[in-house]
Copies of this chain bind each other. A is one copy, B any other.
Amino acid sequence: MRVLVLGAGQLARMMALEAIPLNIEVQAFDVRSDQIVDPINQQVLGEGLQQALRDADVVTAEFEHIPQAVLEPCEQSGKFLPGSRAILSGGDRRVEKALLQQAGVANAAYAEVHNKAELEAAVQQLGLPLVLKSALEGYDGKGQWRLKQMEQLDAVWTEIAQFLKQASKKAKQGIVAEQFIPFDYEVSLVGARSNNGDTVFYPLTENHHVNGVLSVSLARPEHPLQAQAERMFQAIADELDYVGVLAIEFFVVGEQLLVNELAPRVHNSGHWTQQGADTSQFANHIRAVCGLPLGATSVLRPTLMVNILGLDQLPDALLTIPGLHLHWYGKTARPGRKMGHINLSADTTEQLAKRFEQLIALLPEEDFPELELLLPKI
């Protein structure tokens, strides 16, 4: 069996590593170069989407910002899972918000905004502060603005208008204004749904961002909001007749969850499952889209994940820490680029905290800011 993944980054690579022991081959389609590549070593295997689709038994994606010209033939192939509506729900904030309304799951009140007058109306309707988000390509802190006071409105709109002017004409960029949620912290739920509607869930993960980019995820088994998160996942996944791994990021506000955003794919906050869970998110995505039974998601041991940004080397001494596993992505280093991650596991949370301290001491502080702030949270 052969799976084609749209996108040739680390997520496709890690799916391939889990697919190989199942005798399932993963090829990746690099949307920018129009090439079919081996996601493990980027070797070129062929050219063009048509060939890629023809040679694949199943088509899936590792990202959601996929041009319409690619999405359409994928959908037409009849092999595409979780399907283009799910991908668009992750890739277009307007589609996402409409879906959340339709599925009846709690999320921040919002309005679409096309001009300054509509922004003023949104302030009237939703109050201040507002978070303004580009509808397309908005992850990792890019394309976001905050409007705290009315006096800033002109300046903020000038910036946004500039942003919209630069946007590609092909993709219909837009702005969604959302009520600011004064959340306590962020969690995400990663789960999988099979083609017969079975679902499995990993425990909620607590996520810590630095400059808008995920830095650390801590698996939180027995979180009191797990059941609430799973109900919301179920509503969304059923609405989409979803097949594959789906990740949902939530704001925690007291005892309530509000959906922040969806990722219709394996997700950075689920990387800890490679060492911390019986079946990893990558294996479960492959199983789901290939029509195989889903694997158990039970937690093997307390585990956290630390992203490696912008570096292609770390001290070898890291590997002396028991329960530490390095996952490099084989990429060329660029500032801020996701280059790999570290999974750290232990028998108990106390032991995990000790190992995390050891790890922090070995990591260059300037490249891994704020880690010690998380120590008391383990």
Contacts and interface: CB of A to CB of B under 8 A. Distances in A.
A41 B25 contact: yes
Interface string A271-306: 000000011000000010000110110101100000
Interface in A1-59: 13, 17, 20-23, 25, 40-41
A327 interface: yes
Total identical chains: 2
Contacts of A340: 21, 23
Interface stretch (A210-218, A220-228, A258-266, A318-326): A318-326
A316 interface: yes
Nearest to A18: B17
A23 B10 CA distance: 12
A317 interface: yes
A301 B301 CA distance: 10
Contacts of A322: 278, 295-296, 298
Among A21, A293, A319, chain B packs the most CB atoms within 10 A around the CB of A21
A17 B280 CA distance: 15
A104 interface: no
A67 interface: no
Contacts of A157: none
A21 B326 contact: yes
A21 to B, nearest CB: 4
Contacts of A328: 21-23
A296 B312 CA distance: 24
A327 B21 contact: yes
A300 B99 CA distance: 41
A377 B311 CA distance: 49
28 contacts: A13-B20, A17-B17, A17-B21, A20-B40, A20-B330, A21-B325, A21-B326, A21-B340, A22-B326, A22-B328, A23-B312, A23-B328, A23-B330, A23-B340, A25-B41, A40-B40, A278-B323, A279-B325, A287-B319, A292-B316, A292-B319, A293-B319, A293-B320, A295-B322, A296-B322, A296-B323, A300-B300, A300-B301
4 nearest interchain CB pairs? Answer: A296-B322, A23-B328, A293-B319, A21-B327
Interface of A: 13, 17, 20-23, 25, 40-41, 278-279, 287, 292-293, 295-296, 298, 300-301, 312, 316-317, 319-320, 322-323, 325-328, 330, 340, 345
